[in-house]
Amino acid sequence: MLGLQERGCHNINLVTPTHVVPHILKALRAAVDRGLRLPLVYNTGGYDSLDVVRALDGVVDIYLPDFKYQDGALAAKYSNGAADYPRWQPP
């Protein structure tokens, strides 16, 4: 992340990062201590647990969840049976 900042990037875009959030938080603590000042974009599929969202509160600058389907039948057809996609909420 620091290398990206040094090269002039405008943000750190974390794409589909849910499975590595604990590692991201640890790395961010170290990077901020060493001067990281870029905004963080959390680019997610939208199936994050409430625990993950809470862990990122105050850390992530921009949440960018995908919204792929408004129709549950299409979600089920094209995304491996995810018929609940349009109405899913974190537990």
7-16, 36-45, 54-63, 65-74: segment of lowest average pLDDT: 65-74
Amino acid identity, residue 55? Answer: A
The parent domain of residue 81 ranges over 2-87
Q: How would you classify residue 40: left for phi > 0, otherwise alpha for psi between -120 and 50, otherwise beta?
A: beta
Are the CB atoms for 24 and 17 separated by under 8 Å? yes
Q: What is the pLDDT of residues 5-29, one digit of tens each?
A: 999 999 999 999 999 999 999 999 9
pLDDT of 76 strictly over 60: yes
By percentage, how much of the chain surpasses pLDDT 90?
A: 59
Specify the pTM: 0.75
Q: Which of 59, 63, 65, 69 is nearest to 38 (CA)?
A: 59
Number of domains comprising the chain: 1
